[in-house]
Amino acid sequence: MSAAQSQSTLEDKLKALQCHFTWDIDPGTTKLLLFRDKLEDIGNDDGNSWMGHNYNLQGYIQYQLGFTEDAQRFFSKATEAFRRARKVSDEGPWLVVNYGNLAWLHHHLGEEAERQTYLSKVETLLKEYPSPSQGELHPEIYAEKAWTLMKFGKDQKLLAADYFRRAIRMQPDMVEWHTSYMIASVKAYKYSDKPQEEDIMEKMRMAKDQDPENLYLAVLDLEQRAQEGERIEDEARELARKVLENPVSSYSGMKKLLWLYKNYLSVDEAIDLAEEALAKHPDQRYLKWCAALCYKWKIVSYNESRIKQSMIDRAISLHKEVISVYHHPSSLLKKIALANICAKSNHGQVEAEQIYQELLEMDLEPEEKQMVFHFYANYLNIKSHRSTEYHMKAAEIQHKSYFRENSVKVLKRIKDRNRNQMCREIEELLANLEVERS
């Protein structure tokens, strides 16, 4: 075989692997950095059956960000996590994705012997553990692919729910797959135009019965029932006691529970719960962010008058702590929240403007710029020309995002009222956007 043929065969083998390097995951640097923080906040509790998947995704993200040593470290941690979680054997189909990732990593590093070792390991596993359903992936592969994709956009969440469904059909005894299928389904339909399944509540009840210890699922169930008009206050308070006793993790359901408190109990109770959790674990950055978020809801989102200065000071202090321990761009939204809270302070208006000016001068990705422009426009007096100018700046950046769409909606309302001196410029911009979309 010629060198060219050999190289082509090798590339075909690598491309045929089922792993993060072949799943077309390329959301851009900004989202990769955000996902890195989110995965870190899941924690490293050995009781979490998804730790191997978590480490695999962290390894891929580290590679995409250019940190190959960290990538190798996380892929190795994934191997060990899978072996601890699947106590029946050291080797099994749950390692196919992990070994595929390692084959790709060694390929990119030019380490031929190691690459071939992992390619051979994958081939052996696929022969020893064929899929129960001909023409489909092994359920372990579907499950990991589903868990990974549910972290991304709304289309991927729908696909994730479908992959979980396929995995469960072939291997129905995996409780955590049923749970994650429900979570993926609820999230998918929340961000989709498709109507939610009619039997969603019945499926939720069955999943809860199968996995009664999963508190995130319990919170999700409460939310669904609250949306149906059921009174859930007492159950929410009871559930909070259980969440407080669990290890700190974004999988514990704490943030979701606080959101539930805000919407169906009170934002003050949400603050009290967050502070209680933080008192138990004062060094946990995730809980600091949960508490900071509750104060932001109270001070900025609710726009209440007569907020005590002591509460604003506590909110500012928490946000500054949180900003210092999160990476960019996770810290970007937190800096915007800090600016908006400072603006409510008796003596913070200068600091608020200063924070925004620093953000406006930063070298940011297109979506990050849109976000800063959009929030700064909202921060400014809505009737001012400067507010309109910054909504236009957000809309002018040719990148599809929530922030651009929201600024466009604001500009359309301004144009329809026809009371703004910049109506002609707005009309021209909106016309250009229609041409761009067509």
Higher per-residue confidence, 206 vs 22: 22
Please name the amino acid found at residue 49.
Answer: S
What is the pLDDT averaged over residues 131-144? 95
Cβ contacts of 10-14, under 8 Å, gap ≥ 24: 10/107, 13/119, 14/103, 14/104, 14/107, 14/119
Give whichever of 5-14, 151-160, 201-210, 369-378 has the largest mean pLDDT.
Answer: 369-378
Give the pLDDT score at 27.
84
What's the pTM?
0.90
Give the pLDDT score at 5.
55
Q: pLDDT tens for residues 237-259?
A: 999 999 999 999 999 999 999 99
Indicate the pLDDT class of residue 132, thresholds 50, 70 and 90.
Answer: very high
CA distance 303 to 151: 31
Nearby residues of 55 by Cβ (< 8 Å), 6 or more positions away: 74, 75, 77, 78, 81
Indicate the pLDDT class of residue 197, thresholds 50, 70 and 90.
Answer: low
* C-beta of residue 351 within 8 angstroms of C-beta of residue 342: yes
Closest of 308, 310, 311 to residue 292, by C-alpha:
311
* C-beta of residue 291 within 8 angstroms of C-beta of residue 341: no
CA distance 68 to 88: 31
* C-beta of residue 378 within 8 angstroms of C-beta of residue 393: no
CA distance 380 to 378: 5
Please name the amino acid found at residue 216.
Answer: Y
Residue ranges of the domains in the chain?
A: 383-438
What is the pLDDT averaged over residues 205-222? 91
Query: Which two tokens mark 395?
Result: 């809309």
CA distance 426 to 433: 11
* C-beta of residue 390 within 8 angstroms of C-beta of residue 372: no
Q: pLDDT tens for residues 263-301?
A: 999 999 999 999 999 999 999 999 999 999 999 999 987
Please name the amino acid found at residue 352.
Answer: A
Rg (CA), the chain: 24
Average pLDDT across the chain, whole number: 91
Give the pLDDT score at 122.
97
- Give yes or no for residue 4 having a pLDDT over 90: no
Helix (H) or strand (E) segment spanning residue 245: helix 233-245
Give the pLDDT score at 203.
82
> In 3-state terms, what secondary structure has residue 168?
helix
Answer whether the bond into residue 329 is a cis peptide, omega within 30°: yes
Q: Indicate the burial class of 195 (C-beta count within 10 angstroms; 0-12, 13-18, 19 or more).
A: exposed
* C-beta of residue 57 within 8 angstroms of C-beta of residue 35: yes
Higher per-residue confidence, 163 vs 401: 163
Q: What is the DSSP letter of 248?
A: P
CA distance 55 to 52: 5
Indicate the pLDDT class of residue 195, thresholds 50, 70 and 90.
Answer: low
Ranges 45-49, 66-70, 283-287: which has the least confidence: 45-49
Give the pLDDT score at 328.
86
Question: DSSP characters for 251-317?
Answer: GGSHHHHHHHHHHHS-HHHHHHHHHHHHHHSTT-HHHHHHHHHHHHIIIIIS--SS--HHHHHHHHH
What is the pLDDT averaged over residues 322-348? 93
Q: pLDDT tens for residues 107-127?
A: 999 999 999 999 999 999 999
Give whichever of 197-211, 221-235, 416-430 has the largest mean pLDDT.
Answer: 221-235
